[in-house]
Amino acid sequence: MTREQVTPLLFSAFVMNTNSHIQHGLWRHPGAQQSDFNDVNLWIKLARKLEAGGFDAIFFADVVGLYGPVEGSYEVNAREGLQIPSNDPSVLLAALAVSTEHLGLAFTSSIIQAHPFEFARRVSTLDHISNGRIGWNVVTSSLENSARNFGMDRLVEHDERYRWAQEYLDVVYKLWEGSWDDGALLKDKARGIYADHKKIHKINHRGERYSVDGPHLPSPTRQRTPMIFQAGASPAGRAFAARNAEGVFLLSPTPEIAKKDIDATRALAVAGGRRAEDIRFLQGLTFVVGSTEEEAKRREEEVDNYISTDGFLAHINLGLDQKTGTPLDPDLPLKEIKQEGGLSHIAWLRQTMTDREPTVRDLAQITARVRGRFVGTPDQIADRLVEFQRAGVDGINVMNWTIPGSYDVFIDEVMPTLAKRGLVREEPATGTLRHRFSGRDQLADTHYGRQFRGAF
């Protein structure tokens, strides 16, 4: 593929404000600094490196509960530092916003953890601080412990969580899009009028779960609504993304499966009145880079020496009986696992193995070794990224083995090759997060949330 036939990819760094995010055990590597995640300077330095290195965004994952059965042991979680301890990424974004100029700042927040009125206000505050660089990954929480932490006696059924999420978004859309008209903020010192009350509206939302009067307390930001991200391959999750998402995170094992997922979601979006290009798809991948294939393989062996099988099984929340905490039969087919959480992960694991039905015994090995791992030279990695681009992928969500090492290697060794192929922007993108993804600052006219502009 020639340079003229490709377009630049988007690049996001996938991280979490914790010790062990995805690649469990790697925090023990001598070069790993993620065990010092409480140090804000670690993140400031990383964000500045990403910004200078051509990345479009840093994306923080998050959870609000423990992996595993609610009555079971969490010894492995604590021993591995597996997302415990962890900190609130939205607070950290404020520090990164004032330490960077152009880098997009996206974070995860669940519908169960904050009332939509408070959440909308906090996000608008962050969007003002960053001058429009905030993105929100909407999640519904699949952990039983998360539900218990917020006063529920059990996890709400899977599809019902997405119905809940839609009302949550209806509330925040009304606040972000409809509560303030354009031109409401005057700051007129001569007349002594700061804001025009006739252009500020209560939303008076009355729904199944929420009752919110409004008005929204912050004035509109450059984006009004932060860029909306979503991840989830279940039918309910895909339908939710087709209506709301502007960015979708994928963890597809092959370009062919990525294409099927992308085509299915875009078809739903078009059927709902949106344009296919209104949604950008980012594929999650991790890299082991070498100047030669042999060097890359040696580095892969080094990585594998630190992998924690216990950590991987605890993280995917599928290797234990969800009621008793006892290990599942290692020969149990994945298709027979019945639980509320992790449906998209089960689907992904089953797609990975095409010659037979994977079992519980396969879980850790598949997850550790196959989850988006590319091993090779920069040119080989570029070839693979082009394959995903041909499948419809718009960007790469770069997962790490170590922080900051994985990103240092990717920026210093891979990015120059990608730039020669035309896969990286020649000039750094500026402006709002949404603008660098879609060329616009605010929601597209076809987006579901735009119906609330001027509605009050």
Q: What is the pLDDT of residue 365?
A: 64
Q: What is the pLDDT of residue 317?
A: 65
Quick check: is 163 in a domain?
yes
pTM check: above 0.85: yes
pLDDT tens string 69-128:
888 888 889 999 999 999 999 999 999 999 999 999 999 999 999 999 999 999 999 999
Cβ-based neighbours of 17, under 8 Å, separated by 6 or more: 37, 43, 60, 62, 86, 87, 88, 89, 92
Q: What is the pLDDT of residue 2?
A: 45
Quick check: is 198 in a domain?
yes
Which residues make beta-bridge pairs with 211?
206
Quick check: is 428 in a domain?
yes
Q: Give CA–CA dist 224/281, Å, rounded.
A: 22
Quick check: is 355 in a domain?
no
Quick check: is 305 in a domain?
no
Quick check: is 381 in a domain?
no
Amino acid at the residue 263: D
Quick check: is 369 in a domain?
no
**119 closest CA partner among 96, 144, 97, 136:** 136
134: number of CA atoms within 13 Å, CB side?
A: 33
Q: What is the pLDDT of residue 180?
A: 98
Secondary structure of the chain as H, E, C letters: CCHHHCCCCEEEEEEECECECCCCCHHHCCCCCHHHCCCHHHHHHHHHHHHHCCCCEEEEECCCCCCCCCCCCCHHHHHHCECCCECCHHHHHHHHHCCCCCCEEEEEEECCCCCHHHHHHHHHHHHHHHCCCEEEEEECCCCHHHHHHCCCCCCCCHHHHHHHHHHHHHHHHHHHHHCECCCCEEEECCCCEEECHHHECCCCEECCCCEECCCCCCCCCCCCCCEEEECCCCHHHHHHHHHHCCEEEECCCCHHHHHHHHHHHHHHHHHCCCCHHHCEEEEEEEEEECCCHHHHHHHHHHHHHHCCHHHHHHHHCCCECCCCCCECCCCCEHHHCCCCCCHHHHHHHHHHCCCCCCEHHHHHHHHHHHCCEEEECHHHHHHHHHHHHHCCCCEEEEECCCCCHHHHHHHHHHHHHHHHCCCCCCCCCCCCHHHHHHCCCCCCCCCHHHHHCCCC
Contact 213/174 with Cβ under 8 angstroms?
no
pLDDT tens string 361-415:
676 666 666 567 999 999 999 999 999 999 999 999 999 999 999 999 999 999 9
pLDDT by residue, tens only, the chain of 456 residues: 444 467 999 999 999 999 999 999 999 999 999 999 999 999 999 999 999 999 999 999 999 999 988 888 888 899 999 999 999 999 999 999 999 999 999 999 999 999 999 999 999 999 999 999 999 999 999 899 999 999 999 999 999 999 999 999 999 999 999 999 999 999 999 999 999 999 999 999 999 999 999 999 999 999 999 999 999 788 999 999 999 999 999 999 899 999 999 999 999 999 999 999 999 999 999 999 999 999 999 999 999 899 887 888 788 766 566 665 555 676 888 778 766 555 666 676 677 677 888 777 676 666 666 567 999 999 999 999 999 999 999 999 999 999 999 999 999 999 999 999 999 998 878 899 999 999 999 999 999 999 999 999
Q: Give CA–CA dist 362/321, Å, rounded.
A: 16
Contact 282/12 with Cβ under 8 angstroms?
yes
Q: What is the pLDDT of residue 73?
A: 84
Quick check: is 322 in a domain?
no
Full domain range(s) for residue 200: 3-287+393-451
Sign of CA dihedral 272, 275, 276, 278: negative
Q: Give CA–CA dist 344/51, Å, rounded.
A: 31
C-alpha dist (Å) from residue 281 to 17, 19, 49, 179, 270: 24, 27, 24, 30, 15
Which token pair is 118?
Answer: 């408070």
Q: How many domains does the chain have?
A: 1
- Based on C-alpha coordinates, what's the Rg of the chain? 22
Domain harbouring 275, CATH code? 3.20.20.30
